[in-house]
Amino acid sequence: MADGPVAEVLLRRLEAADGGLDSAELAAELGLEHQAVVGAVKSLQALGEIIEAELRSTKRWELTAEGKEIDREGSHEARVFHSVPPEGLAQSELMRLPSGKVGFSKAMSNKWIRVDKSTADGPRVFRVVDSVEDEVQRRLQLVRGGQAEKLGEKERSELKKRKLLTEVTLKTYWISKGSAFSTSISKQEAELSPEMISSGSWRDRPFKPYNFLAHGVLPDSGHLHPLLKVRTQFRQIFLEMGFTEMPTDNYIESSFWNFDALFQPQQHPARDQHDTFFLRDPAEALQLPMDYVHRVKRTHSQGGYGSQGYKYNWKLDEARKNILRTHTTAASARALYRLAQKKPFTPAKYFSIDRVFRNETLDATHLAEFHQIEGVVADHGLTLGHLMGVLREFFTKLGITQLRFKPAYNPYTEPSMEVFSYHQGLKKWVEVGNSGLFRPEMLLPMGLPENVSVIAWGLSLERPTMIKYGINNIRELVGHKVNLQMVYDSPLCRLDAEQGSLQAQETT
Partner 1 sequence: MPTVSVKRDLLFQALGRTYTDEEFDELCFEFGLELDEITSEKEIISKEQGNEKAQGASDVVLYKIDVPANRYDLLCLEGLVRGLQVFKERIKAPVYKRVMPIGEIQKLIITEETAKIRPYAVAAVLRNIKFTKDRYDSFIELQEKLHQNICRKRALVAIGTHDLDTLSGPFTYTAKRPSDIRFKPLNKTKEYTACELMNIYKNDNHLKHYLHIIENKPLYPVICDSNGVILSMPPIINGNHSKITVNTRNVFIECTGTDFTKAKIVLDIIVTTFSEYCENQFTVEAAEVVFPNGKSYTFPELAYRKEMVRADLINKKVGIRETPENLAKLLTRMYLKSEVIGDGNQIEIEIPPTRADIIHACDIVEDAAIAYGYNNIQMTLPKTYTIANQFPLNKLTELLRHDMAAAGFTEALTFALCSQEDIADKLGLDISATKAVHISNPKTAEFQVARTTLLPGLLKTIAANRKMPLPLKLFEISDVVVKDPSRDVGARNYRHLCAVYYNKNPGFEIIHGLLDRIMQLLDVPPGEKKGGYVIKASEGPAFFPGRCAEIFARGQSVGKLGVLHPDVITKFELTMPCSSLEINIEPFL
Question: In the window 281-300, what residues touch partner 1 (CB under 8 A)?
Answer: 281-288
Binding test (CB under 8 A) with partner 1, winner from 348, 400, 446, 474: 348
Stretch of 51-59, 119-127, 182-190, 485-493 contacting partner 1, by CB under 8 A: 485-493
Per CB under 8 A, does 487 bind partner 1? yes
Number of residues that bind partner 1 (CB under 8 A): 102
Q: Which is nearer to partner 1, 2 or 279 (CB)?
A: 279
Per CB under 8 A, does 341 bind partner 1? no
Q: Which is nearer to partner 1, 181 or 429 (CB)?
A: 429
With contact defined as beta carbons under 8 Å apart, do 177 and 51 qualify?
A: yes
Q: Which is nearer to partner 1, 118 or 485 (CB)?
A: 485
Min dist. Cβ of residue 37 to partner 1 (A)? 40
The CA-CA-CA angle for residues 20, 22, 25, to 5°, reads: 130
* Local structure of 404: helix, strand or coil: strand
Query: Taking CB under 8 A as the criterion, which residues in 15-74 touch partner 1?
Result: none
Per CB under 8 A, does 355 bind partner 1? yes
Q: How many alpha carbons lie under 13 Å from residue 465 in its C-beta half-sphere?
A: 30
Residue 88, phi-psi category: left (phi > 0), alpha (psi -120 to 50), beta (remainder):
left
With contact defined as beta carbons under 8 Å apart, do 168 and 59 qualify?
A: yes
Stretch of 43-51, 169-177, 187-195, 220-228 contacting partner 1, by CB under 8 A: 220-228
Tell me the one-letter amino acid at 316.
Answer: L
Query: Taking CB under 8 A as the criterion, which residues in 368-387 touch partner 1?
Result: 368-369, 377, 379, 381-386
Q: Which is nearer to partner 1, 208 or 355 (CB)?
A: 355
Q: Which is nearer to partner 1, 11 or 324 (CB)?
A: 324
CB within 8 Å of 490: residues ≥ 6 apart: 223, 226, 229, 469
Min dist. Cβ of residue 22 to partner 1 (A)? 45
Per CB under 8 A, does 347 bind partner 1? yes
106 backbone dihedrals φ, ψ, rounded to 5°: -65, -45
Q: Which is nearer to partner 1, 104 or 412 (CB)?
A: 412
Q: Which is nearer to partner 1, 415 or 500 (CB)?
A: 415
CB within 8 Å of 501: residues ≥ 6 apart: 399, 467, 468
Tell me the one-letter amino acid at 194.
Answer: P
CA 353 to each of CA 56, 137, 228, 371, 470: distance values in angstroms, whole numbers, following the listed order: 64, 89, 10, 6, 22
* Distance separating alpha carbons of residues 49 and 151, to the nearest angstrom: 42
Stretch of 26-34, 64-72, 90-98, 303-311 contacting partner 1, by CB under 8 A: 303-311
Query: Taking CB under 8 A as the criterion, which residues in 233-292 touch partner 1?
Result: 235, 238-239, 241-254, 267, 269, 273, 277-288
Q: Which is nearer to partner 1, 167 or 393 (CB)?
A: 393
Tell me the one-letter amino acid at 385.
Answer: G
Q: Which is nearer to partner 1, 98 or 389 (CB)?
A: 389
Nearest-CA neighbor of 203 among 215, 219, 192? 192
Per CB under 8 A, does 303 bind partner 1? yes
Q: Which is nearer to partner 1, 86 or 470 (CB)?
A: 470
Per CB under 8 A, does 308 bind partner 1? yes
Q: Which is nearer to partner 1, 170 or 290 (CB)?
A: 290
**Torsion sign over Cα 268, 274, 277, 283:** positive
Binding test (CB under 8 A) with partner 1, winner from 390, 448, 495, 502: 390
Min dist. Cβ of residue 217 to partner 1 (A)? 14
Per CB under 8 A, does 307 bind partner 1? yes
- Burial (CB count within 10 angstroms: exposed 0-12, middle 13-18, buried 19+), residue 47: buried
Length in residues, the chain: 508
Nearest-CA neighbor of 296 among 311, 284, 314, 282? 314
* Distance separating alpha carbons of residues 194 and 458, to the nearest angstrom: 60
Nearest-CA neighbor of 452 among 463, 438, 434? 438
* Distance separating alpha carbons of residues 113 and 81, to the nearest angstrom: 7
Stretch of 84-92, 128-136, 137-145, 352-360 contacting partner 1, by CB under 8 A: 352-360
Tell me the one-letter amino acid at 57.
Answer: S
* Distance separating alpha carbons of residues 468 and 392, to the nearest angstrom: 20
Binding test (CB under 8 A) with partner 1, winner from 17, 128, 196, 228: 228
Stretch of 118-126, 204-212, 230-238, 497-505 contacting partner 1, by CB under 8 A: 230-238
Binding test (CB under 8 A) with partner 1, winner from 306, 317, 363, 470: 306
Q: Which is nearer to partner 1, 143 or 230 (CB)?
A: 230
Per CB under 8 A, does 409 bind partner 1? yes
Per CB under 8 A, does 430 bind partner 1? no
Min dist. Cβ of residue 497 to partner 1 (A)? 20
Per CB under 8 A, does 404 bind partner 1? yes
CB within 8 Å of 61: residues ≥ 6 apart: 143, 148, 156, 165, 166, 167, 168
Binding test (CB under 8 A) with partner 1, winner from 177, 225, 295, 397: 225
Nearest-CA neighbor of 453 among 387, 380, 374? 380
